[in-house]
Amino acid sequence: MGIGSESVSAIRGARGHTGQRSWVRSIPTDADVTCPTLHMRACPALVQPQRFPARLPVGAFINQRYLVEGYLSSGGFSDVYRSFDIETGQRVALKVLKFIGGPDLQRNAEARFALDAASAARIEHPNVVRILACHQSMELHLPDSDASAHYRRLFFAMELLEGHTLAAELAHRGRLAPGRAARLVLGCLEGLAVGHLLGIVHKDIKPSNLFLVHPDTERERLTLLDFGVARVADSDQAILTSPGDLYCTPRYGAPEYLKNGEVQPAVDVYQMALVLAEMLTGEPVVQGQGIFECTLAHLQGVEVPTALHATAFEQPLRRALDRDPQRRYPDAGAFLTALRWRTAAIRCGEVDASG
């Protein structure tokens, strides 16, 4: 279903640029929900909200379409709500941009929020969260009100994932069995490889940005979330960053990015290797908490955890964690191929992780 005639391309080709990709996916939107970094028409600055609730209550009705059923989570830029879409008859997750601050801060947050939706929308793969519709204004009817209020508030609807983050899995249950970890990471690398082919580098892969869907079932998979700091090839992202700005979690930051801001698909390879090692051992490879401590550890070079030495994972992890990105697997597809070959027997349950 959706909005029919109001459906437009989620990503528009660069004005005046050649080589525009023809396989870009279209998603419904009630207006040009835009992202300057992707050469789309810039949205006006978000205005100061008037009495916008700090958290949307159960029963709130949005754009005469979405009925809020509950709060799910919160991040630095947004809140996420479980909702029912009366147009499609499906339950969805609504990601709603917060009010961050002054005009410049808000424009930056708005651009990153649009980048999150637009980047994920381009990657059609079950291991990347699916974007369903984007909206740049909100008509909000609260359950205790007789009238609706209108706000300039970006939000988008995405598939509702059942499960929990990888961070929660590791916190509550510890390390994963080798075969299970390999299967989950291989699926995630497939989705990431599609993004790399499209010129999209996630740049902030960590357990809290990976969602374990249908855990402990045959349908279990690991899904990539939050493309809000992604780097998109052939796009102008100067509006999003200032010299010296870094957008990643230091514990999972690639050394070349932490040192000079260099972003290539090898950044994602490094981060996925850190996550895989943590899944297998139950402990982060870099133990530091502060940005300087973590940065120093990455710049000096991290080692494959001792517990993974002489296992099928050692060699792929050793290359993926190389301090020099030129010696790393160049992209997720190359890492995927190596890891798939090395772990075939483990995933089939024929042997343990050693050997």
Among 98-107, 138-147, 193-202, 216-225, the range scoring the smallest mean pLDDT is: 98-107
Q: Which of 247-251, 318-322, 344-348 has maximum average pLDDT?
A: 318-322
Closest CA to 354 of 313, 321, 317: 313
pLDDT band at 197 (very low <50, low <70, confident <90, very high): very high
Structural contact between residues 254 and 327, judged by C-beta atoms closer than 8 angstroms: no
Among 50-54, 251-255, 290-294, the range scoring the smallest mean pLDDT is: 50-54
Q: What percentage of the chain reaches a pLDDT higher than 70?
A: 78
What residues have CB less than 8 Å from 344, skipping those under 6 apart?
none
Structural contact between residues 263 and 202, judged by C-beta atoms closer than 8 angstroms: no
Mean predicted confidence (pLDDT) in 195-221: 94
Q: How far apart are CA 147 and CA 310, in angstroms?
A: 66
pLDDT at 152: 85
Mean predicted confidence (pLDDT) in 99-126: 83
Q: Does the pLDDT value for residue 120 go beyond 50?
A: yes
pLDDT band at 114 (very low <50, low <70, confident <90, very high): confident
pLDDT in tens, 66-96: 999 999 998 878 899 999 999 999 999 999 9
pLDDT at 14: 27
pLDDT at 230: 67
pLDDT, mean over the chain: 82
